[in-house]
Amino acid sequence: MRTAIVSAMQEELSAVLALLPDEQKQAVGGRDYWVGHLHGQEVVAVLSRIGKVAAATTATALIERFGVDRIVFTGVAGGLAPGVNRGDVVIARSFLQHDLDASPLFPRYEVPLYGTAQFDTDPALTEQLAAAVRKALHGTHVHSGLVVSGDRFVASALESQALQRALPEALAVEMEGAAFAQVCRDYGLPFAAVRTVSDRADDEAHGDFLSFIDQVASRHSAAIVKALLEG
């Protein structure tokens, strides 16, 4: 069983790499893939970079070149739904691309030719990830449900309110998850994702995001990954 551990930010990847005793670097497609072990399990850790295209490239290389059996994404997100606050954790049950609109050819948000707007994460792997979060982060408020992705950093109350009105079930917004979910669906690979809420996608999002990445996000990622692979 080979597990891919993907982060979007260098700080998170560094914290995960600190857990691997034996990682070896392989460069593919302008990225460094770190192949090693954690608790005796084979892992490939990589920085996806930011956005859906970067995410799709990374997912495809992980599957085609590195032969991973499952992909786990750890990162941060902006909270959207009321009560999804900074420092909370969101476990994705499904993903949707909030910036996809091929109407009138296809309904708003529907991914053309898939007949759906949402891709679910793998229920069993998501359950393992949720258990790892409970074990690693006692006392943290955990939400699970729909996460939306798009090639925009949402950084105004106006935009986040518009997203909430359009997609009331969305718990949080980020920039990669839906692309991973779609590629993993294409290849029939289990995918799960956990996001710590770094900001509320509002007028303070930029400053909140930057301070959070340093303070909390990398600690969360590493603790969750460790707990997941310890089983």
Q: Which of 174, 181, 190, 227 lies at the binding interface for ligand ADE (CB under 6 A)? A: 174
Stretch that binds ligand ADE, among 29-37, 85-93, 163-171, 201-209 (CB under 6 A): 201-209
**In the bound complex, what is the minimum distance in angstroms from residue 41's beta carbon to ligand ADE?**
28
End-to-end CA distance of the chain: 13
Work out the burial of residue 138: count CB atoms within 10 Å of its CB; fewer than 13 is exposed, 13-18 middle, 19 or more buried. Answer: exposed
**In the bound complex, what is the minimum distance in angstroms from residue 19's beta carbon to ligand ADE?**
23
What is the rounded distance in angstroms from the CA atom of residue 185 to the CA atom of residue 84? 27
DSSP string spanning 114-150?
TTBSEEEPPHHHHHHHHHHHHHHSTT--EEEEEEEE-
DSSP at 213: I
C-alpha atoms less than 13 angstroms from C-alpha of 197 in its C-beta half-sphere: 28
What is the rounded distance in angstroms from the CA atom of residue 187 to the CA atom of residue 14? 28
Q: Backbone dihedral region of 63: left (phi > 0), alpha (psi from -120 to 50 degrees) or beta?
A: alpha
Locus of tokens 């690693």? 136
| Whether residue 22 lies in the annotated active site | no
Question: Residue 26 or residue 156: which is nearer to ligand ADE going by CB?
Answer: 156
Q: Using the rule CB under 6 A, is 198 a contact of ligand ADE?
A: yes
**Which residue out of 12, 122, 174, 202 is catalytically annotated?**
12
| Whether residue 12 lies in the annotated active site | yes
Q: Using the rule CB under 6 A, is 153 a contact of ligand ADE?
A: yes
Stretch that binds ligand ADE, among 13-21, 37-45, 135-143, 168-176 (CB under 6 A): 168-176
Q: Using the rule CB under 6 A, is 78 a contact of ligand ADE?
A: yes
Stretch that binds ligand ADE, among 27-35, 121-129, 149-157, 223-231 (CB under 6 A): 149-157
Q: Using the rule CB under 6 A, is 205 a contact of ligand ADE?
A: yes
Which amino acid makes up residue 140? T
Q: Which of 12, 23, 110, 199 lies at the binding interface for ligand ADE (CB under 6 A)? A: 199
Q: Hey, which residues does 148 pair with through a beta bridge?
A: 96, 173
List of residues contacting ligand ADE (CB under 6 A): 76-78, 153-155, 173-175, 198-199, 201, 205, 209
Q: Which residues belong to the active site?
A: 12, 199
